[in-house]
Chains A and B, each alone.
Chain A
Amino acid sequence: MLGVSKAQIIFVMFAFLATSCDRKSAVQQATGDVQVQIGVQTSANDYSLQKVNLTGISDLKEVAGRYAKFFYSPGAQDNQLIGSAPRANFIRVGSFFVPTDLISMQMATIYYHMQRLALFDELVGARGLHQWPRSVGIETQIIDEDGASLNNAFYNGQTDSMMFVPFTNPELPIAMNAGIIAHEHFHSLFYKIVMRPAVEAKKIRSNRTSLHAEERARDKAILFEKPIKMQNQEVTVAERAQLFNETYLRGMNEGLADFWGWLYTSDAEFIRWSLPAMTESRSLNLPEDSYGYYETNGNLTSRVSSHLAGSTNVRVGLAKYAYTIATPYARFLKQFTVMQADNKAISIDEAKTKMASIVLSYIKSLGAQFVSLKAEETLHTGSLFNFVAEQMQKEKSNLSLDTKDCEFLLKYINKEVTEDKKINVCDTQTETVTILNNR
């Protein structure tokens, strides 16, 4: 009936498709250094779209490379994340790529920050602590009897991975928040230096960290641990000390992580972009009338006692209290860093690098101290201030302790000593200022 056979038509159609499919997509071709447009924090008050270079990219479709490897809604097996990688979508515009959906934007952004945090690790002496690329779970489903976890981020030490759960608020998604990514990254440092050895030495049981405590008791890691005895008289000194130390370390971990978030972004309220309800409680701005405030050993001891007396689950209650412990440490460190830049002939970046190195040395010393602690002993909640003072006194450069530093430090160092025992003074007789202990 027809002048052209059906076989001819089918042949032409196949030839047509076969010749059209021999091209790699722009995304498939993009490896090595790849320029992408993502949302980054350009100042303490601004997020904007910027073109940045992602380096070491091996597969842009999965935004995988030297610094990060992504898992979509992952599970865990044999201490590793398992699951498929999310597929990222980009368009090529001239020489750069633009993410075409939220998941892709988050992946590119997290990769970029992991790349920068790797450099920061090297700068402050944390090189070699991490294995790269880092594992990152996005849209992680954490579901328990109270429902799914939302609007939060976690560092999971067991799988050595950063996890982002679904974000449903109208604010900036947590996975886009540079400060929060740096905060979570710090948890991985703290875990490796302090928590993992402590867990291995059976000094603590709980080692989970999250960006913030959720209102409901959904922290499975804590919830399903063996309940501690509820009556004060039945709790041994060792158990009490363990609760004290767990809570203190959790608080210190969160506080230092918030400080790391500020170091990375210069934004004292970086959390406000994603979780504005926490702005006030987690702000790193330190009013002058709060100089010297932190949760002392006395505060922490009495809080442990009150939870032992009244809480149905002591660890859940104390986990929330950890954030009260945390913020004063972060505020102290941020204020002290700013003072270095303000009062000495150094830039804020130099001051930040110096303080980050001191913090890293501090957590190394804290980890070593904690592992050698006897079962009934507790850590000292003021140890950070003493450590900073010691380190600064050793400093021989233009960063050495000055009178303002000394007076600021003494407000903390003297906090938990009675009036008649406040005997530390700043010695300004010599060229360098030292904190003298006249005892």
Chain B
Amino acid sequence: MKILTIGLILFMTVSGFAAEKPFDQATDAARLDIMLLQIQFRYEDSVEQSRQLQNYKGLLDIPILELNLAYQINNFRFSLGHSYQFEKTGNKSLEIRRSTDEFLLGSGYRVLHIESPDKNMALDLFAQVFAGVTQTQVETKLVGVSSKSKSNPDSVFAAGMSAVGRYKYAVVEGDVKYINSANMNPQYVPAFTVRAGGCIYF
């Protein structure tokens, strides 16, 4: 079934290229977005036994520092994103620290493009699908003795929309996506992300 899905995506991509309009430098120039600032919320089960909007952490546990790269060419956008979540429960005698790393590779197609007359400012809307991997590490500290365990890696899939705004070399992206992974709680998790950074034109 997965192979069928990937085949469908490839087919759509090729059919998209086939009907492409003539090249426009301002609209279709290749660019690399490097976005290291990110705020992400996911509506999922929390350790407080309720489903709530959880603010995801960042690289090195710094709240808004995160790794996000996106390569955009013509109507296509390919991305690599990292998400990190950390939660701690327990007390001095029994502490459980759970951290989850997730890498998502995204593939998007532009469905809307708006730009200012001077072409310095632009807004793109993309439909995107993602596939990736997630892994959770649990560190349990019981009466002073610590033990670390890493989960078996698990696949993650997602689909959603993202809006990318640019002003010269600055870029801001906001995306909404539904993420699915067998071991997530729940298995479908809506995620809302805003990220910002700079872009390099080729």
Residue B183 lies at the interface, judged by CB distance under 8 Å to chain A:
yes
**Which of A22, A99, A102, A139 is the one whose CB lies under 8 Å from B1?**
A22
Residues in B with CB closer than 8 Å to A417 are none
Report if A98 contacts B (CB, 8 A). Answer: yes
CB <8 Å contact, A9 and B111:
yes
A103 at the interface (CB under 8 A from B): yes
Q: Given A6-B111, A9-B109, A92-B183, 6 more contacts at CB 8 Å?
A: A9-B127, A12-B12, A98-B149, A170-B91, A171-B93, A173-B91
CB-CB nearest in chain A for B180: A20
Question: Does B15 count as interface, using CB distance less than 8 angstroms?
Answer: yes
Cα separation A6 to B111 with both chains bound (whole Å): 7
For the complex of A and B, the 6 pairs showing the least CB-CB separation, nearest first, are A3-B19, A20-B157, A91-B151, A4-B16, A170-B92, A102-B89
A3 touches B18 (CB 8 A): yes
Q: Which of A23-31, A182-190, A370-378, A388-396 contacts B (4 or more CB under 8 A)?
A: A23-31
In the bound complex, how far is the Cα of B4 from the Cα of A172, in angstroms?
52
> What are 28 A-B interface contacts by the 8 Å CB criterion?
A2-B19, A3-B17, A4-B16, A4-B19, A9-B109, A13-B160, A15-B4, A21-B180, A23-B182, A25-B182, A26-B182, A26-B183, A37-B147, A39-B142, A47-B142, A49-B147, A86-B49, A87-B49, A91-B136, A91-B152, A98-B138, A99-B96, A99-B140, A101-B87, A102-B90, A173-B91, A173-B93, A173-B94
* Contact status A101-B19, CB under 8 Å: no
- Whether B91 contacts A103 by the Cβ 8 Å rule is no
Complex interface bits, B89-118 against A, C-beta within 8 A gives 1, otherwise 0? 111111010100000000001110000000
**Bound Cα distance A17, B181 (Å):** 10
The count of chain B contact residues (Cβ–Cβ below 8 Å) is 56
Interface residues of A (CB under 8 A from B): 1-4, 6, 8-10, 12-17, 19-27, 37, 39, 46-49, 72, 86-87, 89, 91-94, 98-103, 105, 139, 167, 169-173, 176, 273
Q: Is B62 an interface residue (CB 8 A)?
A: no
Q: A3-B18, A3-B20, A172-B143 are in contact. Are A101 and B94 (CB under 8 A)?
A: no
Q: Are B185 and A87 in touch, CB under 8 angstroms?
A: yes
Closest residue to A17 on the B side, CB-wise?
Answer: B159
Select from chain B the residue with minimum beta-carbon distance to A274. B93
Contact yes or no, B4 A100, CB < 8 A: no
| Of the residues B5, B15, B187, contact of A16 by C-beta under 8 Å | B5
- Binary flags per residue of B166-190, CB closer than 8 Å to A gives 1, else 0: 0000000000001010111101100
Tell me whether B60 is interfacial, beta carbon within 8 Å.
no
Contact of A8 with B12 at beta-carbon distance under 8 Å, contacts A47-B143, A87-B185 already known: yes
B150 at interface by CB-CB < 8 Å: yes
Q: How far is the CB of A44 from chain B (nearest CB, A)?
A: 13
